[in-house]
């Protein structure tokens, strides 16, 4: 019984980090941002509120990035089917490697969105806002694909040989 507790804790943490990051993006895009725009319109307060939320959410995203890397390494090792990082040696590793490539893309998009867009001097504020939303939506879509790949890879050990 004790040997199963650690994998359960690792998987639970992995799921929490996933929920924080991908769930947070979905919540922002479909509930928070539209509600803020409805209440404040395109005012200074709307921009300040969105900037404050974005700054606060970035903390959770960075924690989730690190947490997902650490827990993901443990989970891949526990499976016994992984042939290595970004390896395509078997079906399990191919799906996992595709998931990792998309995860790296998500990290790049998140860092660009949280640290770089606001510093782009050649973009107008409305263009920055639009680019922010495009990247958020793109990252959400990639995140959903990552979730689908996670579901797929989790079923491989249970599949008949």
Helix axes 44-79, 2-18, angle to 10 degrees: 150
- On whether residue 160 sits in a domain, the answer given is no
- On whether residue 161 sits in a domain, the answer given is no
- On whether residue 87 sits in a domain, the answer given is yes
Residue 2: the pLDDT is 60
Structural domain containing residue 53: 2-155
Round to whole Å and give the CA distance between 29 and 51: 14
What is the mean pLDDT of each successive set of 10 residues along the chain, which is 161 residues long?
A: 83 94 90 90 87 89 93 84 86 92 94 87 88 92 95 76 50
Round to whole Å and give the CA distance between 110 and 14: 18
Residue 22: the pLDDT is 92
Residue 113: the pLDDT is 87
- On whether residue 54 sits in a domain, the answer given is yes
Residue 95: the pLDDT is 93
Residue 1: the pLDDT is 54
Q: How many CB atoms lie within 10 A of CB 153?
A: 22
Round to whole Å and give the CA distance between 158 and 156: 5
The domain total for the chain is: 1
- On whether residue 27 sits in a domain, the answer given is yes
For the entire predicted model, the pTM comes to 0.83
């Amino acid at each position: 019984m004790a040997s199963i507790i650690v994998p359960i804790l690792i998987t639970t943490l992995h799921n929490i980090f996933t929920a924080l990051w991908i769930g947070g993006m979905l919540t922002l895009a479909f509930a928070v941002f539209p509600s803020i725009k409805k209440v404040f319109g395109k005012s200074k307060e709307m921009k300040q509120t969105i900037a404050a939320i974005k700054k606060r959410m970035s903390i959770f995203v960075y924690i989730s990035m690190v947490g997902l890397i650490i827990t993901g390494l443990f989970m891949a090792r526990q499976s016994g089917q992984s042939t290595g990082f970004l390896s395509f040696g078997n079906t399990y590793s191919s799906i996992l490697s595709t998931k990792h490539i998309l995860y790296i893309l998500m990290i790049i998009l998140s860092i660009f969105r949280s640290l770089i867009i606001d510093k782009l001097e050649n973009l107008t504020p409305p263009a920055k806002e639009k680019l922010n939303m495009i990247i958020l939506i793109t990252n959400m879509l990639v995140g959903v694909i990552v979730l689908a790949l996670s579901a797929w890879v989790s079923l491989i050990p249970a599949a008949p040989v």
